[in-house]
């Protein structure tokens, strides 16, 4: 009767961090490892708007893209059984951050500017379309660093294969969920009804 039950630390988790830190790739692999659905907010926006991210920035403007992000954050925080990979700027906006952190753990992936540059140089990121993308990465990363620090769990990705990162994230999520079970008063403050964050929820 109990065969097929899946033990997991969480049934919802989001990945944040700078461009190129691996949110999309690691999020996808984490979702496979935890047998959860996968949602990439950048991909969701491109699908709904019907344009690529560079097209959205160029034709609709960044403010429109940020409004889409806010809308998508509202939706993905109502999901369960999902790993959510955010865009690089999603967690920077205060209201998004508040809603996400209230919903569940936010894992922040980190990488050095040089690694980010290497990982993003062959694909188009509108914010990095400048004469000197590496300098832009350094400046933007410095600006955003204090905000990313507000995430729940922090994982460095430089020079590490994705399997190792997924393994570390899962271990850290178990520790996080153990603490949450030990301090139920904290859970009582949460508004989301019927949400099983922190439970070893069977399917």
Ligand X SMILES: O=C(O)C1=C[C@@H](O)[C@@H](O)[C@H](O)C1
Ligand Y SMILES: Nc1ncnc2c1ncn2[C@@H]1O[C@H](COP(=O)(O)OP(=O)(O)OP(=O)(O)O)[C@@H](O)[C@H]1O
Binding of residue 20 to ligand X (CB under 6 A)? no
Residue 155's SS3 state is: strand
Region from 8-16, 25-33, 121-129, 156-164 binding ligand X, contact rule CB under 6 A: 121-129
Q: Which residue in the block uniquely carries the two structure tokens 């692999």? A: 29
Bridge partner residues of 149 (DSSP) = none
Residues 3-32 that bind Mg ion (CB under 5 A): 23-24
The residues binding ligand Y (CB under 6 A) are 17, 19-26, 42, 85, 87-88, 119, 125, 157, 160, 162, 165
> ∠25-28-169 over CA atoms, to 5°?
85
Q: How far apart are CA 178 and CA 199, in angstroms?
A: 9
Binding of residue 120 to Mg ion (CB under 5 A)? no
Binding of residue 89 to ligand X (CB under 6 A)? yes
Q: How far apart are CA 110 and CA 179, in angstroms?
A: 24
Instruction: Judge whether 88 is annotated as a binding position.
Output: yes
Report the residue number, 21 or 177, with the smaller CB distance to Mg ion: 21
> ∠6-7-11 over CA atoms, to 5°?
90
Tell me which of ligand X, ligand Y, Mg ion, none is bound by residue 138, counting a contact when its beta carbon lies within the kind-specific cut-off of 5 to 8 angstroms. Answer: none
Tokens for 53? 């991210």
Annotated binding residues for Mg(2+), as ranges? 24
Annotated binding residues, as ranges? 20-25, 42, 66, 88, 125, 144, 160
């Amino acid at each position: 009767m109990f065969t097929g039950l899946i033990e997991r630390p969480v049934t919802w988790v989001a990945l944040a961090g700078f461009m190129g830190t691996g949110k999309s790739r690691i999020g996808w692999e984490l979702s496979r490892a935890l047998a959860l659905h996968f949602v990439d907010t950048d991909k969701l926006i491109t699908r709904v708007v019907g344009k690529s991210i560079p097209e959205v920035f160029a034709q609709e403007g960044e403010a429109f893209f940020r409004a889409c992000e806010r809308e998508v954050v509202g939706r993905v925080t109502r999901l369960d059984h999902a790993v959510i990979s955010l865009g690089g700027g999603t967690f920077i906006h205060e209201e998004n951050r508040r809603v996400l952190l209230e919903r569940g753990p936010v894992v922040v992936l980190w990488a050095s500017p040089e690694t980010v540059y290497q990982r993003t140089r062959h694909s188009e990121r509108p914010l990095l379309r400048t004469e000197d993308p590496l300098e832009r990465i350094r400046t933007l990363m410095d600006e955003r660093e204090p905000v990313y620090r507000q995430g729940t769990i922090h994982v460095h990705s430089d020079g590490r294969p994705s399997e190792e990162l997924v393994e570390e994230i899962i271990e850290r999520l178990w520790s996080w969920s153990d603490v949450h079970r030990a301090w139920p008063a904290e859970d009582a403050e949460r508004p989301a009804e019927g949400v099983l964050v922190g439970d070893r929820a069977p399917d």
